[in-house]
């Protein structure tokens, strides 16, 4: 087995030869003519001239050897349903969905927006799109109408696939009214809507536009839909991520590079073998769900578990009962979920036979040492942190134990993953920091490896200006995270350099929340900051200046206004973006030039020293906030 340092060095210094080897892990109809075209930095084209298909690599190529093996197990503790699909059955269902989409007019290159709960049909829809060369754009089912509308306008889908409702903690969340409102708000109108009726909420179909999935599926039970071979650099999907402005960024992913990156990650990072079982507790609305619920495990010939429900319902043993029943070998979750489980009766962890489990991977937010230590002792398996972004599609930092076994260091997500030329950069000078434990911006020298974003959907300028130009004098990709690296090459992430916060693994733009709160008639000014939270990693905290303070003298009146503001956020962005609190103040802390002192606000909210305040216009502004927080 090679030393990991040599493996990583080769991926950078002998890039094309290295990735040509990795490309042999997947099926190509036409082999690539060029491994990497980086003639127009920072735009990288991977496996140019090769033709492949993501759905073929995830489903069809396994039919001969493992057609009867479970491919997808859909479990819902919300509806008490459980259904396993073999690779052969998944192949049939994906073709039926593909036939339905084609019947509704979807062609190669068209967009299909998927707004669905965690049900099997959502997986069918994603795989069906990649099968026929359509570009899917999955929108998290918790998003409100106006957020959904902006994504419909940007993606311009021919068809939207949705369901009557989702469910969380036993509470039904109707999707159809949200979807109807979003289409009403959007300047772009889809030609058709395909509705999966779960029988959870009334969902009337609009004549001429809406179609019932069960009815349409019944007419395509035996329709054969072959895979369309796609040029490697053609998009497979777009996925929206919060930015520091209100307009969402559509991360555009290619086809060949992504397929190779996932196949290689399943081998070198996750050590996943055909026949193993992968249980990722994320949601398909997030990048982890795309890469490690749907595509990665299936490409590797594994069984993947799609779970709708909470980690503590019906009780805190539910995940471990699934591990026992399906002999789960690989589990992927988020630190927030582990912190939730830590509060439960520890007896649930010893109630089930989890001896099949090889390791637990955690990502989405920084993993604190106490949480890592607790779950490591509770499960007695390796706990492997990993760090990455919607933009990269697969890990930037972790331990590649499939190359060389390396010890975890709690508090660190690990080392730079092969293919990623990771640097720590001085934000002010653009110089590379090489001395251990120096704090800098975590950045990646181009080209980004296969599987990372090609660009921002329909906005190349935004891709360049957002990601590649924030560090002076250098064309280098910024993660917008501070970090340090120790003498052994382990990285430690220290927090964001911009206005994006991480709430339970969900990235939220504080500007987006601020714009939303500002739309309330009685809010003159607002600042939203991310504040450390023991359970969720970070929560959003809002400080708002009311236009009219008359009538806000009592705690009850302020609570009523806070509830109104929360309702506005729920309505425009969805509950996922709701701040933990909205505090009302008479003035916000600013510099004399009018710049909001967000870091000082955050420090006070976290009961830390706000540092040098000599540039502050009104020192009393922070004292007011200190009094509120104490």
Q: Which residues of the chain have pLDDT under 50?
A: none
> How does DSSP classify residue 294?
I
Residue 343: the pLDDT is: 83
Evaluate whether residue 293 is within a structural domain: no
Evaluate whether residue 409 is within a structural domain: no
Domain end position, chosen among 223, 254, 288: 223
CATH of the domain at 563: 3.30.300.30
**What predicted TM-score, i.e. pTM, was given to this entire model?**
0.86
CATH of the domain at 120: 3.40.50.980
Domain end position, chosen among 203, 223, 243: 223
Domain that includes residue 590, residue range: 503-629
Angle at 357 between CA 91 and CA 280, to 5 degrees: 50
Residue 537: the pLDDT is: 83
Evaluate whether residue 105 is within a structural domain: yes
Asked whether 82 and 76 are in contact (CB, 8 A), the reply is yes
Distance CA 612, CA 625 (A): 17
Evaluate whether residue 142 is within a structural domain: yes
Residue 523: the pLDDT is: 87
Residue 619: the pLDDT is: 67
CA-wise closest residue to 470 among 500, 438, 441 = 441
Distance CA 90, CA 464 (A): 39
**Domain count of the chain?**
2
Evaluate whether residue 525 is within a structural domain: yes
Evaluate whether residue 91 is within a structural domain: yes
Evaluate whether residue 364 is within a structural domain: no
Evaluate whether residue 353 is within a structural domain: no
Q: Point out which residues pair with 74 in neighbouring strands.
A: 83, 306
The rounded radius of gyration (Å) of the Cα atoms in the chain is: 24
Domain end position, chosen among 166, 188, 223: 223
Buried b (16+ CB within 10 A) or exposed e, 517-537: beebeebebbbbbbbbbeebb
DSSP 3-state of 413? coil
Asked whether 239 and 292 are in contact (CB, 8 A), the reply is no
């Amino acid at each position: 087995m090679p030393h990991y340092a040599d493996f990583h060095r080769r991926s950078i210094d002998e890039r094309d030869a290295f990735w040509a080897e990795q490309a042999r892990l997947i099926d190509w109809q036409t082999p690539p003519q060029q491994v990497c075209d980086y003639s127009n930095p920072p735009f990288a084209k991977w496996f140019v001239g090769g033709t492949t298909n993501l759905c073929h690599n995830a489903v069809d190529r396994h039919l001969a050897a493992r057609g009867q093996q479970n491919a997808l197990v859909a479990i819902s503790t919300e509806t008490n349903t459980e259904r396993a699909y073999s690779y052969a059955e998944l192949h049939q269902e994906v073709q039926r969905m593909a036939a339905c989409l084609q019947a509704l007019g979807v062609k190669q290159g068209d967009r299909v927006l998927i707004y669905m709960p965690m049900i099997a049909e959502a997986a069918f829809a994603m795989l069906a799109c990649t099968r026929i060369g359509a570009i899917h754009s999955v929108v998290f089912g918790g998003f409100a109408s106006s957020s959904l509308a902006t994504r419909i306008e940007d993606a311009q889908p021919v068809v939207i696939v949705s369901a009557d409702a989702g469910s969380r903690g036993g509470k039904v969340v109707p999707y159809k009214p949200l979807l109807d409102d979003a289409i009403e708000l959007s300047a772009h109108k889809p030609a058709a809507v395909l509705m999966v009726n779960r029988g959870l909420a009334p969902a009337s179909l609009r004549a001429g536009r809406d179609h019932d999935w069960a009815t349409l599926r019944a007419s395509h039970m035996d329709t054969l839909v072959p895979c369309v071979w796609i040029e490697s650099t053609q998009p497979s999907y777009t996925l929206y991520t919060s930015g520091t402005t209100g307009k969402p960024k559509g991360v555009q992913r290619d086809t060949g590079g992504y397929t190779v990156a996932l196949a290689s990650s399943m081998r070198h990072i996750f050590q996943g073998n055909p026949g193993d079982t992968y249980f990722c507790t994320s949601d398909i609305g997030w990048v982890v769900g795309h890469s490690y619920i749907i595509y990665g495990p299936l490409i590797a010939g594994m069984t993947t578990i799609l779970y709708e429900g909470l980690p503590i319902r019906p009780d805190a043993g539910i995940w471990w009962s699934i591990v026992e029943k399906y002999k789960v070998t690989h589990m992927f979750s988020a630190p927030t979920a582990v912190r939730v489980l830590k509060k439960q009766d520890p007896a649930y962890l010893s109630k089930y036979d989890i001896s099949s489990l090889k390791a637990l991977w955690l990502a989405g937010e920084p993993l604190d040492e106490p949480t890592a230590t607790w779950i490591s002792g509770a499960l007695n398996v390796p706990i492997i942190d990993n760090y990455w972004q919607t933009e990269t599609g697969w890990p930037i930092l972790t331990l590649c134990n499939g190359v060389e076994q390396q010890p975890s260091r709690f508090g660190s997500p690990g080392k730079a993953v092969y293919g990623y030329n990771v640097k720590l950069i001085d934000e002010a000078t653009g110089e590379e920091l090489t001395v251990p434990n120096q704090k800098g911006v975590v950045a990646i020298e181009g080209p980004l490896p296969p599987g990372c974003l090609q660009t921002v959907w329909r906005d190349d300028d935004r891709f360049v200006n957002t990601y590649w130009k924030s560090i002076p004098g250098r064309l280098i990709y910024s993660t917008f995270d501070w970090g340090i690296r120790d003498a052994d090459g382990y990285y430690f992430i220290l927090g964001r350099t911009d206005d994006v916060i991480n709430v339970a693994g969900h990235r939220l733009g504080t500007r987006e929340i601020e714009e939303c709160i500002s739309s309330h008639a009685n809010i003159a000014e607002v600042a939203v900051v991310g504040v450390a939270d023991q359970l969720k990693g970070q929560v959003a905290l809002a400080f708002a200046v009311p236009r009219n303070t008359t009538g806000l003298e009592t705690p009850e009146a302020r609570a009523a206004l806070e509830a109104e503001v929360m309702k506005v956020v729920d309505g425009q962005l969805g509950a996922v973006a709701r701040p933990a609190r909205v505090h009302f103040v008479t003035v916000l802390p600013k510099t004399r030039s009018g710049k909001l002192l967000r870091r000082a606000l955050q420090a006070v909210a976290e009961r830390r020293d706000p540092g040098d305040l000599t540039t502050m216009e009104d020192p009393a502004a922070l004292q007011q906030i200190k009094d509120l927080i104490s």
